[in-house]
Structure 1
Amino acid sequence: MENISRKKFITNLIGIGAVVGLSSKSNLMFGANEEDDFYSKIVAANHEEVSKLIKALSTDITEIRRRLGYDLANLSAAITEPTSKYFQKEDVVPYMDKIMRFLLKAQNPDGTLDIGNLASPPDTAFILEPLCSALTILRTNKMASLNEIKEMLKTFILKSGEGLRLGGIHTPNHRWVVSASLARINALFPDKKYVNRIDEWLSEGLFIDKDGHYLERSMIYGEVTDRALIAMGRLLDRPKLYEPVRKNLMMTYFYTEPNGDLVCNDSRRQDQFAPINILNFYHNYRFFAIEDNNAEFAAITKFIEKVKGFDEKVLNDLLFYFLEEPLYKKPMPQPKNPALTFEKFFETSNLVRIRNNDKTVTIFGGTDLPLIIGSGRSTSPNFFSFRKGEAILKYMRYSTDFFSTGYFRSKGIKKVNGKYVLSQKIEAPYYQPMPAKFKKADGDYKHSISTDGRFWNKMDFEHRPQSNIRTLETTISIEQKNGINELTFSTKGTDGVHVTIEFCFKEGGNLVGFSKIEDSADNYTLASGSGEYHLGKDTIKIDGGTFKHSKLRGIEGEMYTSHFGSLRTDGMHVFLTGITPFEHKITLS
């Protein structure tokens, strides 16, 4: 495999957006000797995990869950690793036996498991990853008492293989998760039928856009896809499958906040409203740091090791990966920091990332239109966020009560004279009587959506003339000047419309200069002037307060109100309000 030099890495980054500059200040750096005792830490973490696991397994297993696969893999690693306190300890075997008998009993006749979904090939594939790792490790362990465990694993894996080989999927990433598990099964029990099924899925085409997004634009499932492609690439000796992973990992770095949180505004899956961090990407960055001798990925790998939650969520499950894949044990190159000051416009999803060390801005205007609430669509109304060290503005939203259309969602982003411009135009008609040729004597007209997409009724809207059409046009321009973010709002077209600017700051902070809104929880306003949000040692200042109305209910819009839903999140909420025609400027610094 060709090594990627620092020059080539930066060239690749420029290929998906201009890198503005590098900084000598960094929280990514680490000492040259920190790797020396890392493996002993992995073994110690496994020991602690297995000690907890043995206590938990003293009672009956009552629920089928993916975690059981990791439990068995961790037990297998502990009993096989020579430096482990559980190395070749016979009293570990009964717990392994207990897990396997439960899994075999839970397995459906077609080889699948009921995990989350009933008789689910993809969910079964997820648990097969650690189970196949367990058998790979146990094959090197000659303890006679493990023979029955190995046979049960073989029985379970081969039966599951048929379920995966013949079964279907639901989502784009499921194809690669299933294929990766088939590659793992094939590595243990070679059979062309597994490879044929993998090739059938791969023949559909593996999409990744020019910026590095997979189809779902999701950080959760981007990582899942990365890991699946790595497994297929190494087990089937198909290094071309590594290329999209490298591209996705390059992009993911630019979506990473200084504390490890990941930007998910443009996701088409659940992470667009459920914050996640970079921890799960650890395996992928470490793999390519070593495989490609990639100094930037080495720096990111070491950074992840310092992200809050690494010991509890990653380190405790690492030993079996290191025992299964010898590459993980090889030393990483000396790290070199990637860019910590940059401005990047991801045009394929209409998302902008601006970073200057510990200050970051995210601008988003890439909602999937027409707006339909459902899994697999990007619907986030969070158009702007700002972080300044510990002080975090989680998001800004903009709403109008124009025919209950709710939150502003831009139709893309344009960069004009150094400014990022978001825009939306809404037309809301009234409907005239049905023309004679479309009238029905029984009045049973087509159940259809209104032409503006706001609601459904049995009115056959497409055949009705329209009148009294009202319009509302909104633009939000965003410009950064000397570290100050200037946001200019303009809404016009129909007068008298209530507009609301919503800020959501990270909970636990302190608001200074704002007024508490009566009869509300964590709702504040700024009638004029400026206010400050403090968290830890950092401060975000808002200048440009305005409060012209207090109509704050139903700002999500009719689509949510009709289903009694809410998009409100945890946090400290500040509202600025106005009435159209509305022209207003605020600054954030």
Structure 2
Amino acid sequence: MDSTYIKLVRLYDESVQSALSKQVRDVSSKYAGGIMDASGIPRPNHGGTPSVMACWACALVNPESRYYHDAELLAAFDLAADFMLNRQHADGTVSLGSTNFNSPPDTGFVVGGVAQMYQLLSRHGWPDIQPSAAKLKLFLERTLPAMLTGGCHTPNHRWVLTAALSLLYEIFPLPELAARAEEWLAEGLDITVDGEWTERSNGIYNAVSDIALYHTGRVLHRPELLEAVRRNLRMMVYLVHPSGEIVTDYSGRQDFGHTYRPATYFLSYRLMAAHDRDPLFAAMADYAGSFIQGTEGVNNNALLQLLLYPKETDISGLERASLPDRYVKLINGSHTAEEHLKRIESVGHHMKIQHSSMHLAFGAPIVRIRDGETSVTVMTRTPSFFSLRHGKVRLLGVKLSTSFSPGIVKFEELICEGNGYKLGVTMEKGYNGPIPKEKLLPQESFGEQAAAASGAQSMPEASGESRMPPDASHERQLSSGAAGAQGEPSPWYLLPHQHRPLTHVQTHRLTAELMPEDSGWRMRIVSDEREDVLTQLTFILGAEGELQGEGLAAAGEGRYMLQSGTARYTAGGDALEISPGAYEHFVAELRDDSHPAGCQYVHLNWVTPFDKTVAVRLR
């Protein structure tokens, strides 16, 4: 029998009692039936009560669960279904809770799982479960207006909504549901040839888009959508460290720099392995399944979909490929990111999008390098340009900051030279001149406004006195778009700043050459000839290791200046050394840089111009 399936049944059974103890049983409470999350408040979002209900639904209809047809669990499930109906807003939506109120996309996440839950229960030949299934169907029916009209925030939300619309279409075969999904799909898929989604979110949102588009393609008979899922799943083979930690060092979302495991990809790999009969995907499905420790969001619930789609997830007898552990992989090397960025101005949105981000780093090239237990990432258009794992040692990132911009340098260029890599960026900073008069709205002079406001007449010249030159301010034009009474300000925010000419534009060029060596890496950082730019190179290390070095001087909690010599970082018997130190200026933290808690930081301080080489040696 499938080992992942057996593991899931056991895990879900173990979680049932714990979740039952968190259910609100006070029928007078507005939260009656809900399951409290970490906030202490039951929520109807995809990671809250519906996620627990999916676990309970699996147990109730699975003969291999010890809770199969359990009366107590059925009563708790029915009460939870009441909670979902009671917390559903009049417009059919639910709220995320932490943010996103009356949210169509968050409702879409929930619909994606509740629709599958309803299908599983309604197909099960147990009359006692059907009243609860009917409540789920009512919940889904109430969401129809919001799903047919609702919008989104982020790129992945579009595919969450298409999946919700598609799964609803399986239950309520209304042509307008499919038509609305096609409206979203008409925007085109936001994925590179190498498989990177817009948000570059390997820890969270890649998997969200993958599972959503799988079901959209399945229901709407759009097999071409599965090619995007394939691309991302192939890419993710190279974005896992030896420990199973996913590479999140360059994410554009909240998984940036945090630890995630491949469990969330289990269903996408399994479904696509079965669909394509792909040995690599089958091996990755097994690997991802080995990291499952509990339930995912309701839209990506592993056991729920194994039970609902037994044929579509069957990979028994399928050969498994060997997962690569030695490679050099360039991702997005052929993506035309620069050409896309040049077209922004012609689009007309002027870099303004409500409640979301432009995600300008989409498609930026990265390099992934794996050599057994050593794992390296070279990155562009992100705060850190280099990260490394070596056994238990975690070099979470290396970043460069300057006083020129000021702040963190994001390298834009990546060139592969031999077995090394060259990063580069030319920063630009200028000054804003006065707005041309013709771009300002015509105004009365300040003096004319004042006279009109007071009703005063011009004073006659006194006999024999010379006339004083008029106050220049009385002749000055107001520069705002709104004329007013004497003393009315000219608000800075009402000025057409886009018309200011740039003056005294300055540039600053930085390059980083990264070269692998037998014992580690050599980093050569070079500036142009501009003088006296304060610069700081920072190594970000895991909090679990120990730092030592005679040249280390404390610079705050978890932060050290490597003023000279070598810093040695050890973790679990593995070690990394950084040298040589430098302390050419005394600024501990450059403007617009930040150092969040939970890590250790080693800083090297330089002043331009410089040509510096730093060694990172692995022990």
Instruction: Give me the TM-score of the superposition, normalised by structure 1.
Output: 0.82
Q: Which residue of 2 aligns with 1:74?
A: 55
- Pairing 1:415-494 to 2, within 5 Å after superposition: 415-429=416-430, 441-444=476-479, 460=497, 463-464=500-501, 466-467=503-504, 470-482=506-518, 484-494=520-530
Q: Which residue of 1 aligns with 2:370?
A: 355
Q: Does 1:574 align with 2:602?
A: yes
Q: Which residue of 1 aligns with 2:290?
A: 306
Deviation sequence 1:33-67 (CA, Å, 0-9, x none): xx654433322222112222222225343533322
Deviation sequence 1:295-342 (CA, Å, 0-9, x none): 2222222222333xx223559953322211113354262322132111
Judging changes above 3 Å, is the alpha-carbon distance between structure 1 residues 460 and 96 closer, same or farther for their aligned structure 2 residues? Answer: closer
Q: Which residue of 2 aligns with 1:291?
A: 275
What is the alpha-carbon distance in structure 2 between the residues aligned to residue 291 and residue 432 of structure 1?
Answer: 61
Q: Which residue of 2 aligns with 1:344?
A: 329
Q: Does 1:52 align with 2:18?
A: yes
Deviates most, 547-556 or 247-256:
547-556
What is the alpha-carbon distance in structure 1 between the residues aligned to residue 568 and residue 191 of structure 2?
Answer: 41
> Secondary structure of 1:119's partner?
coil
Deviates most, 276-285 or 297-306:
297-306
- Pairing 1:186-225 to 2, within 5 Å after superposition: 186-219=169-202, 220-225=204-209
What is the alpha-carbon distance in structure 2 between the residues aligned to residue 587 and residue 106 of structure 1?
Answer: 57
Could you tell me which amino acid in structure 1 is paired with residue 144 of structure 2? Answer: G
Could you tell me which amino acid in structure 1 is paired with residue 211 of structure 2? Answer: R
Judging changes above 3 Å, is the alpha-carbon distance between structure 1 residues 417 and 37 closer, same or farther for their aligned structure 2 residues? Answer: closer
Please tell me whether the aligned partners of residues 207 and 215 of structure 1 are also in contact (alpha carbons under 8 angstroms).
Answer: yes
Judging changes above 3 Å, is the alpha-carbon distance between structure 1 residues 507 and 187 closer, same or farther for their aligned structure 2 residues? Answer: same
Please tell me whether the aligned partners of residues 264 and 275 of structure 1 are also in contact (alpha carbons under 8 angstroms).
Answer: yes
Query: Gaps spanning 5+ residues in structure 2: where?
Result: 26-31, 35-40, 336-363, 444-475, 483-491
Judging changes above 3 Å, is the alpha-carbon distance between structure 1 residues 121 and 36 closer, same or farther for their aligned structure 2 residues? Answer: closer
What is the alpha-carbon distance in structure 2 between the residues aligned to residue 258 and residue 473 of structure 1?
Answer: 35
Could you tell me which amino acid in structure 2 is paired with residue 408 of structure 1? Answer: V
Could you tell me which amino acid in structure 1 is paired with residue 425 of structure 2? Answer: Q
- Pairing 1:156-175 to 2, within 5 Å after superposition: 156-175=139-158
Q: Does 1:392 align with 2:377?
A: no
What is the alpha-carbon distance in structure 2 between the residues aligned to residue 58 and residue 568 of structure 1?
Answer: 37
What is the alpha-carbon distance in structure 1 between the residues aligned to residue 215 and residue 180 of structure 2?
Answer: 15
> Secondary structure of 1:271's partner?
coil
Judging changes above 3 Å, is the alpha-carbon distance between structure 1 residues 431 and 217 closer, same or farther for their aligned structure 2 residues? Answer: closer
> Secondary structure of 1:300's partner?
helix
Please tell me whether the aligned partners of residues 438 and 463 of structure 1 are also in contact (alpha carbons under 8 angstroms).
Answer: no
Judging changes above 3 Å, is the alpha-carbon distance between structure 1 residues 43 and 272 closer, same or farther for their aligned structure 2 residues? Answer: closer
Query: Gaps spanning 5+ residues in structure 1: where?
Result: 1-34, 368-379, 448-454, 558-565
Q: What displacement does 1:585 show?
A: 0.2
State the percentage of identical aligned residues: 27
Judging changes above 3 Å, is the alpha-carbon distance between structure 1 residues 190 and 580 closer, same or farther for their aligned structure 2 residues? Answer: same
> Secondary structure of 1:311's partner?
coil
Judging changes above 3 Å, is the alpha-carbon distance between structure 1 residues 355 and 518 closer, same or farther for their aligned structure 2 residues? Answer: closer
Q: What is the aligned counterpart of 2:533 among 489, 497, 514?
A: 497
- Pairing 1:178-257 to 2, within 5 Å after superposition: 178-219=161-202, 220-257=204-241
What is the alpha-carbon distance in structure 2 between the residues aligned to residue 588 and residue 304 of structure 1?
Answer: 31
Q: Which residue of 1 aligns with 2:412?
A: 411
Please tell me whether the aligned partners of residues 343 and 354 of structure 1 are also in contact (alpha carbons under 8 angstroms).
Answer: yes
Please tell me whether the aligned partners of residues 401 and 590 of structure 2 are also in contact (alpha carbons under 8 angstroms).
Answer: no
Could you tell me which amino acid in structure 2 is paired with residue 490 of structure 1? Answer: V
What is the alpha-carbon distance in structure 1 between the residues aligned to residue 562 and residue 51 of structure 2?
Answer: 50
- Pairing 1:264-279 to 2, within 5 Å after superposition: 264-279=248-263
Judging changes above 3 Å, is the alpha-carbon distance between structure 1 residues 86 and 281 closer, same or farther for their aligned structure 2 residues? Answer: same
What is the alpha-carbon distance in structure 1 between the residues aligned to residue 146 and residue 432 of structure 2?
Answer: 53
Judging changes above 3 Å, is the alpha-carbon distance between structure 1 residues 581 and 522 closer, same or farther for their aligned structure 2 residues? Answer: same
Please tell me whether the aligned partners of residues 266 and 351 of structure 1 are also in contact (alpha carbons under 8 angstroms).
Answer: no
Q: Tell me the number of residue pairs that the alignment of Structure 1 and Structure 2 aligns.
A: 523
Q: What is the aligned counterpart of 1:103 among 69, 76, 84?
A: 84
Q: Which residue of 2 aligns with 1:3?
A: none
Give me the CA root mean square deviation.
Answer: 2.8
What is the alpha-carbon distance in structure 2 between the residues aligned to residue 142 and residue 94 of structure 1?
Answer: 18
Judging changes above 3 Å, is the alpha-carbon distance between structure 1 residues 510 and 435 closer, same or farther for their aligned structure 2 residues? Answer: same
Could you tell me which amino acid in structure 1 is paired with residue 508 of structure 2? Answer: L
> Secondary structure of 2:8's partner?
helix
Judging changes above 3 Å, is the alpha-carbon distance between structure 1 residues 306 and 514 closer, same or farther for their aligned structure 2 residues? Answer: farther
What is the alpha-carbon distance in structure 2 between the residues aligned to residue 44 and residue 431 of structure 1?
Answer: 65
Please tell me whether the aligned partners of residues 365 and 414 of structure 2 are also in contact (alpha carbons under 8 angstroms).
Answer: yes
What is the alpha-carbon distance in structure 1 between the residues aligned to residue 502 and residue 293 of structure 2?
Answer: 64
> Secondary structure of 1:499's partner?
strand
Q: What displacement does 1:456 show?
A: 9.0
Please tell me whether the aligned partners of residues 93 and 143 of structure 2 are also in contact (alpha carbons under 8 angstroms).
Answer: yes
Please tell me whether the aligned partners of residues 245 and 259 of structure 2 are also in contact (alpha carbons under 8 angstroms).
Answer: yes
What is the alpha-carbon distance in structure 2 between the residues aligned to residue 186 and residue 72 of structure 1?
Answer: 22
Judging changes above 3 Å, is the alpha-carbon distance between structure 1 residues 582 and 456 closer, same or farther for their aligned structure 2 residues? Answer: farther
Q: What displacement does 1:533 show?
A: 1.0
Judging changes above 3 Å, is the alpha-carbon distance between structure 1 residues 79 and 350 closer, same or farther for their aligned structure 2 residues? Answer: same
What is the alpha-carbon distance in structure 2 between the residues aligned to residue 508 and residue 446 of structure 1?
Answer: 57
What is the alpha-carbon distance in structure 2 between the residues aligned to residue 198 and residue 438 of structure 1?
Answer: 44
What is the alpha-carbon distance in structure 1 between the residues aligned to residue 439 and residue 157 of structure 2?
Answer: 46
Please tell me whether the aligned partners of residues 555 and 561 of structure 2 are also in contact (alpha carbons under 8 angstroms).
Answer: no
> Secondary structure of 2:65's partner?
coil
Q: What displacement does 1:415 show?
A: 2.5
Q: What displacement does 1:141 show?
A: 2.6
Deviation sequence 1:239-268 (CA, Å, 0-9, x none): 322111011100111121112222234433
- Pairing 1:498-517 to 2, within 5 Å after superposition: 498-517=534-553
Deviation sequence 1:148-191 (CA, Å, 0-9, x none): 21221111111212320222222221121111112212222323
What is the alpha-carbon distance in structure 1 between the residues aligned to residue 507 and residue 3 of structure 2?
Answer: 65
Please tell me whether the aligned partners of residues 70 and 131 of structure 1 are also in contact (alpha carbons under 8 angstroms).
Answer: no
Q: Which residue of 1 aligns with 2:121?
A: 138
What is the alpha-carbon distance in structure 2 between the residues aligned to residue 412 and residue 501 of structure 1?
Answer: 18
> Secondary structure of 1:505's partner?
strand
Could you tell me which amino acid in structure 2 is paired with residue 392 of structure 1? Answer: R
What is the alpha-carbon distance in structure 1 between the residues aligned to residue 146 and residue 77 of structure 2?
Answer: 23
Judging changes above 3 Å, is the alpha-carbon distance between structure 1 residues 97 and 484 closer, same or farther for their aligned structure 2 residues? Answer: same
Instruction: Give me the TM-score of the superposition, normalised by structure 2.
Output: 0.78
Q: What displacement does 1:362 show?
A: 1.0
Could you tell me which amino acid in structure 1 is paired with residue 503 of structure 2? Answer: Q
Judging changes above 3 Å, is the alpha-carbon distance between structure 1 residues 329 and 431 closer, same or farther for their aligned structure 2 residues? Answer: closer
Could you tell me which amino acid in structure 1 is paired with residue 321 of structure 2? Answer: K
Could you tell me which amino acid in structure 2 is paired with residue 412 of structure 1? Answer: E
Could you tell me which amino acid in structure 1 is paired with residue 391 of structure 2? Answer: G
Q: Which residue of 2 aligns with 1:258?
A: 242
Please tell me whether the aligned partners of residues 69 and 128 of structure 1 are also in contact (alpha carbons under 8 angstroms).
Answer: no
Please tell me whether the aligned partners of residues 384 and 397 of structure 1 are also in contact (alpha carbons under 8 angstroms).
Answer: yes
Q: What displacement does 1:529 show?
A: 3.2
What is the alpha-carbon distance in structure 2 between the residues aligned to residue 224 and residue 304 of structure 1?
Answer: 15
Judging changes above 3 Å, is the alpha-carbon distance between structure 1 residues 533 and 271 closer, same or farther for their aligned structure 2 residues? Answer: same
Please tell me whether the aligned partners of residues 534 and 608 of structure 2 are also in contact (alpha carbons under 8 angstroms).
Answer: yes
Higher relative contact order, structure no. (Cα contacts within 8 Å, ≥ 6 residues apart): 1
Please tell me whether the aligned partners of residues 402 and 590 of structure 2 are also in contact (alpha carbons under 8 angstroms).
Answer: no
What is the alpha-carbon distance in structure 1 between the residues aligned to residue 184 and residue 367 of structure 2?
Answer: 33
Deviation sequence 1:415-462 (CA, Å, 0-9, x none): 245432222223444567777878982352699xxxxxxx99969585
What is the alpha-carbon distance in structure 1 between the residues aligned to residue 425 and residue 155 of structure 2?
Answer: 30
Could you tell me which amino acid in structure 2 is paired with residue 466 of structure 1? Answer: T
